[in-house]
Amino acid sequence: MAMRNNRAKVNRARRLLERKRSRTTKSVPNRVATGPKRSEAEERLGRGLSDGVLETLIQQRTRELTEVNERLKLSMVRCQRLDGRLRESEELFRSIFEQANAGMNTLTLGGRYLQVNPAFCDFVGYRREELQRLTVFDLTHPEDQVVTRERFDNIRKGTYEAFDYEKRFVRRDGKVVWGHVTSAWIFDDRRQPLYGIGLVQNITDRKEAEAELKRTLLSAREARTKIACILKSVGDGLIVTDIRQRIVLMNPSAEELLGVSFEQVVNRSITDPYVSSLLPEELRNALQCGDTDGRFEFELDDRQGRRLRAVQAQMSVIHDRDDQQGGVITALRDVSREREIDFMKTEFITTAAHELRTPLTSIRGFCEILLTRPELEEAQRRSMLTIINEQSETLARIVNDLLDLARIESGLGFVLQKAPCDLATLVTQATSHFSWNHDGHRFQVALAPDESVVHGDRAKLLQVLENVLSNAVKYSPRGGLVRITGQRNEDAFQMSIADQGIGMSDDQVQRIFDKFYRADTSNSAIEGVGLGMNIVQEIIKAHGGRIWVESCLGEGTIVHFTLPAGY
């Protein structure tokens, strides 16, 4: 074929040469007509020269065509190789596409599926022929439709060449599954998208695990919140240390009790010099030793440094799921009040025994005298009988106080017989009794009879007045003035009893209504077991009233109380 082409080219070259020669002959007619006729030798020389040039041209052209032919052969070989590689790549892609564990598909810009692999069919639960009639949007969860269409719009606009996101698919059986979608797109020369190749990985298990983890974290957060609320509401102090003896938790009660902020010691070891300087020595030693057997007590100075506080500590081991020791929790309880009550009870027993023994001794002694000495004069006998009567009244008052205390402690309270009652009459009755027995004290009463009527139990209100007046007399010097005033305030009547006695400190005023408390325990000559004011407070509360005390050390005391007014 190449040789035929070469001959054709040679023939065309000869024809072109003949045409040129003909044009040359026509262009010089005169010369041809007038010139001498060329010889046969010259003509043969001209033809020989022409044949030699043509042969050279033919050989040169032949070489060029041969080179072109060789290059074409090389190009054909390369094309054959590329075609083979392309077929291999297609086979490899088809094999990967069909055998991949992850779902794969090819789809149009409109979302229609062109090809799908078995893994994708299993993922969505549709057959291959069914999927070719559906689009991406038919399988997308309603809540993920917008984000899916946005990604296809970005491909259409040429903003992106691929996208990657997570979304929900709706299977053929209606079940919702999660997939991680990665899609790369093929474009033509005009940057128009031809089709996309998608990879869909099933992440349903991961999403369910994440949801479960979120629920667990939420539950843990709620549990921590509840524990924090419980720790804040617990009255006892709590300190938690780990196995490295680091303080990992301290509730507000412990902070207040020890005077230490949790931020100062958090995650710091008990052996840290700074932490050691903040904690009491007994507590520090116990935490370092980790001795969790039994309880121990230690003392702390209060914030004002005026008195010691007793603290009881109980340590317990914290075990983890493997029953290994994970730390120690120490509960701190301020037992100062209990210790004070124990002390007051002990003192009460001692005082009550003394108070009971004194009148009993007097009654027994004078009765023995009266029985063994009939020769006593009438005046002596009456004097002794008067003393016996007074001591019996004292004994009865102590017994009544104890009975009232028993009723209060049992929760029974008082059974009140309420009726209109004139406080002015009760004050006169009570002051006359104290005037008769305490010659040195003066009583000043400023009550209007028509305004001092209240609604209450006459016997219990008389007991209130006697107890308050008794304290005013006992703690006032001889000749002291006791003022009793009252005024009506709307629906209540307020009474105030003021003395010029020794008065009380602020701390004593705060504790005046405590059981077994006596303001001045140094003077054993003052009668009483420390129950009077507590019983007075309970009686006033039972009447729906209020009682409070104002006092200044060395200047006297004023007791105020209110009672519902009578009608």
What is the DSSP track for 228-294?
HHHHHH-SSEEEEEETT-BEEEE-HHHHHHHT--HHHHTT-BTTSHHHHHHS-HHHHHHHHHT--SS
Reported residue count of the chain is: 567
Per the listing, tokens 């008065």 go with 503
**The pLDDT of residue 30:** 44
| In contact, 376 and 370? CB cutoff 8 Å | yes
C-alpha torsion angle, residues 18, 24, 27, 31 (rounded to 10): -120
Give the strand pairing for 162-170 and 193-202.
unpaired
- What pTM value is reported for the model? 0.42
Inform me whether the pLDDT recorded for 71 exceeds 70. Answer: yes
Using alpha carbons only, how large is the chain's radius of gyration in Å? 59
Query: Of the segments 32-46, 182-196, 246-260, which one has the largest average pLDDT value?
Result: 182-196
- 337-376 tens-digit pLDDT: 888 777 767 766 776 676 677 677 778 888 888 888 888 8
Inform me whether the pLDDT recorded for 12 exceeds 60. Answer: no
Q: Which of 463, 434, 465 is nearest to 452 (CA)?
A: 465
Lowest-pLDDT range, 186-190, 200-204, 326-330? 326-330
Higher pLDDT, 558 or 522: 558
Contacts of 234 (CB under 8 A, 6+ apart): 251, 253
Inform me whether the pLDDT recorded for 404 exceeds 80. Answer: no
Query: Of the segments 18-22, 108-112, 250-254, 438-442, which one has the largest average pLDDT value?
Result: 108-112
Lowest-pLDDT range, 129-133, 196-200, 214-218, 477-481? 477-481
Q: Which of 201, 206, 214, 197 is nearest to 107 (CA)?
A: 197
**The pLDDT of residue 384:** 84
Contacts of 381 (CB under 8 A, 6+ apart): 370
Contacts of 302 (CB under 8 A, 6+ apart): 308, 309
Residue 2's pLDDT band (boundaries 50, 70, 90)?
very low
**The pLDDT of residue 432:** 78
Q: What is the percentage of the chain residues whose pLDDT exceeds 70?
A: 79
> Stretch 199-207: mean pLDDT, rounded?
93
| In contact, 247 and 268? CB cutoff 8 Å | yes
The two three-digit tokens of residue 317, written as one number:
């081991």
- 487-524 tens-digit pLDDT: 888 778 888 999 888 888 888 888 888 776 666 545 44
Considering all CA atoms of the chain, what is the largest pairwise distance in Å, rounded to the nearest integer?
216
Handedness of CA 128, 130, 135, 140 (dihedral sign): negative
Handedness of CA 445, 448, 449, 454 (dihedral sign): negative
Q: Which of 483, 471, 463 is nearest to 526 (CA)?
A: 471
What is the DSSP track for 335-399?
-HHHHHHHHHHHHHHHHHHHHHHHHHHHHHHHHHHHHH-TT--HHHHHHHHHHHHHHHHHHHHHH
| In contact, 516 and 348? CB cutoff 8 Å | yes
Q: Taking the CB of residue 431, how many other CB atoms lie within 10 A of it?
A: 20
- 74-92 tens-digit pLDDT: 878 787 777 777 677 667 6
Q: Which of 118, 115, 162, 123 is nearest to 139 (CA)?
A: 123
Tell me how far apart the alpha carbons of residues 509 and 325 are, in angstroms, rounded to a whole number: 49
Higher pLDDT, 357 or 325: 325
- CA geometry: angle at 324 spanning 323 and 328, to 5°? 110
The one-letter amino acid code at 482 reads V
Inform me whether the pLDDT recorded for 55 exceeds 50. Answer: yes
Q: Which residues pair with 163 in a beta bridge?
A: 183
What is the DSSP track for 6-31?
HHHHHHHHHHHHHHHHHHHHHH-HHH
Handedness of CA 369, 373, 379, 380 (dihedral sign): negative
Higher pLDDT, 490 or 265: 265
**The pLDDT of residue 355:** 63
**The pLDDT of residue 140:** 94
Three-state secondary structure call for residue 503: coil
Inform me whether the pLDDT recorded for 165 exceeds 90. Answer: yes
Higher pLDDT, 322 or 217: 217
Inform me whether the pLDDT recorded for 144 exceeds 90. Answer: yes
Inform me whether the pLDDT recorded for 26 exceeds 50. Answer: no
Inform me whether the pLDDT recorded for 418 exceeds 70. Answer: yes
**The pLDDT of residue 32:** 39
The two three-digit tokens of residue 174, written as one number:
């209606």
- 283-304 tens-digit pLDDT: 888 887 766 666 788 888 765 5
**The pLDDT of residue 34:** 43
Residue 221's pLDDT band (boundaries 50, 70, 90)?
confident
Residue 171's pLDDT band (boundaries 50, 70, 90)?
very high
Mean pLDDT for the chain?
79
**The pLDDT of residue 9:** 46
| In contact, 465 and 537? CB cutoff 8 Å | no
Tell me how far apart the alpha carbons of residues 284 and 271 are, in angstroms, rounded to a whole number: 8
Three-state secondary structure call for residue 93: helix
